[in-house]
Chain A
Amino acid sequence: MNYLDLSLTQVKSALDKGEITSQELVKLCFEQIEKTKDLNALNSTYFDLAMARAKEIDAKRAKGEDVGVLGGVPIVIKDNINMLGTKTTCSSKFLENFDSPYNATVTQKLLDAGAIIIGKANMDEFAMGSSNENSAFGAVKNPVDETRVPGGSSGGSAATVAAKQCFASLGTDTGGSIREPSSFCGVVGIKPTYGRVSRYGVVAFASSLDQVGALTRTVEDNATMLNVLAGADKMDMTASHTPVADNTSKLNDGVKGIKIGVAKQFYTEALSPEVRDNLQKALDWYKESGAELVEIDLPSLDTALAVYYVISSAEAASNLARFDGIRYGVRAKDYTDLVDLYFKSRTQGFGKEVKRRIMLGNYVLSSGYYDAFYRKAKRVQKVIRNEFLQAFEKCDVLISPTTASPAFKLGEKANDHVAMYLTDIFTVPINIAGVPALSMPCGKTSEGLPVGMQIIGKHFDEPTIYQVANAFEKAHKGGE
């Protein structure tokens, strides 16, 4: 048996039963990383650190001590999450040599649950992008088809799970950065409710939209991961005090009587026929399985992308101002004075897309434009959010395609930022509304590319998402 083929839940059980040790598992993962290194999924790996930790956990387990829910399981985190003793680069030249001086709350939670963090995943620079081509350390290839992008910005996090280099990974999602790559690589990824998971120690892109979530091979694995990650944090005022429900509690409850909302605004002519077919099949299956399909209207959905670009760029421009070359990161060599140091360091340290967002963000915040853009966008955000709240009076979850098309070719959209932005058209509204959503495979195209289905839930109702997702997954084992 190849242990790498197992799900997180299965491998944890194999570890608990003593079929394999954590050290053996770590070695297997590193062999796989070596075999699939062309994917460029990881920015850094920590073999010695991982082995030392695996040894500790193996010893604890041998003594019968509690090793945690993730005890001894190799996991990868996105390279914008701080972990003491590692570099946190955000795939930016600016932070190429940045040593994390502290642990992010999610890092600490993983470690406390016994996870072995074996590496950090490549990503679009500062999480800005939808293809993982905006990385200072090179693009990531899609393990399903290496001529295609893995999606972004958590492209490395999706690829590493799909390529079986680890059993789960962390990503961050501001406008689809977990769900789009999950969809492109055929894995399960969740963007939790805004405030469900602490952002402390996660390098901010757009503070009011960013959430950390897990990418896994199964729905059950994903629910287990969210159980570890979720909860209030005294270091993050935006982390909610809403009690954390057990995300695995309803996994096997089936979908009988579940009301599934279908909004026509998600099924536009932009949808590729194969995505439409797969989604239709999935919806038919739900109906056959006893769920009720409810028609929903989200009239302002198509403005979400515009709202997203205003709000996320504004926050990004301000969040990225701290990268000034004074306390850490790149300091240009050839400056003449302090002001020149700022200009040169930032110009040399940031990539094109990051500069584009900073410029846009400063535009919409600058005096004379603030009301017309930022304030207006915040108002429209409220309208969109209210439409979702109204929708959820009629249904338990909404189902949509995650993306309009499957993974595109490397380089295909690299020079057309507007086309690139449009790939997020179905994922962005979720962040704008602050609700949770999960992407999972629901079929394949004739070329064998995964198609992603997005299950959207009520605020803080992730357990129902997992319930609906798991029913489908159980019935379609083998990816069909």
Chain B
Amino acid sequence: MSITVDDVKKLAKLSRLEFTEEETQQFVKELEATLKQVEAINKVDVSGVDLLESTIDADTQLRPDVVVDSLPVEQIVLNAPDKKDGAFLVPITVAED
């Protein structure tokens, strides 16, 4: 599995992380080394392995629709780097999704 500088840049963007050119180069090598290790998963025969997992019963094991006290708004915004009138404040944001 070979990793390119572009791959690392794309991943950095997905991860919302910034790297210097040097760090990017280093990541190319490190990711390659890790992925080489990870290739071990291909040694195992998984044909016929069903991925469906154990389940929880919807009728008996889910949360009943009963209101629980919310936290006071002061607690919600306690750690906010910036806030206004009980809301979190961020730089002006244009529509995305």
Using CB atoms and an 8 Å cutoff, list the residues of chain A in contact with chain B.
Answer: 97-99, 101-102, 234, 237, 241, 300, 302-303, 305-307, 309-310, 317, 321, 324-331, 335, 337-338, 341-344, 346-347, 350, 355-356, 358-360, 362-364, 366, 373, 375-380, 382-383, 417-418, 421
Contact = CB atoms under 8 A, between A and B. Distances in A.
Q: Is the interface of A mostly helix, strand, loop or mixed?
A: helix
B16 A380 contact: no
Which of B11, B30, B41, B77 has the largest number of chain A CB atoms within 10 A? Answer: B41
Given A306-B38, A382-B49, A366 B14 contact: yes
A438 to B, nearest CB: 25
Contacts of B8: 359
Given A306-B39, A331-B81, A376-B41, A326 B34 contact: no
B37 A102 contact: no
Contacts of B90: 326, 338, 341
A30 to B, nearest CB: 28
A205 to B, nearest CB: 16
Size range of the chain B interface in the assembly:
35 or more
A418 B43 CA distance: 19
Given A102-B75, A303-B44, 17 more contacts: A303-B40, A303-B41, A306-B38, A309-B37, A310-B38, A325-B81, A326-B81, A328-B79, A335-B91, A342-B16, A343-B18, A347-B17, A356-B27, A356-B34, A362-B11, A364-B38, A373-B38
Nearest to A347: B18
Contacts of A382: 46, 49-51
Given A335-B91, A337-B91, A306 B37 contact: yes
Interface in B30-66: 30-31, 33-35, 37-46, 49-51, 56, 61, 63
Contacts of A358: 15, 17
A42 B87 CA distance: 34
Contacts of B14: 362, 366
What are the 10 closest A-B residue pairs judged by CB atoms, nearest first? A328-B79, A331-B81, A379-B46, A306-B40, A342-B16, A347-B18, A379-B49, A303-B40, A306-B38, A380-B44
A356 B7 CA distance: 14
Nearest to A363: B11
A383 B30 CA distance: 28
B12 interface: yes
Nearest to B47: A379
Nearest to A383: B44
A104 to B, nearest CB: 15
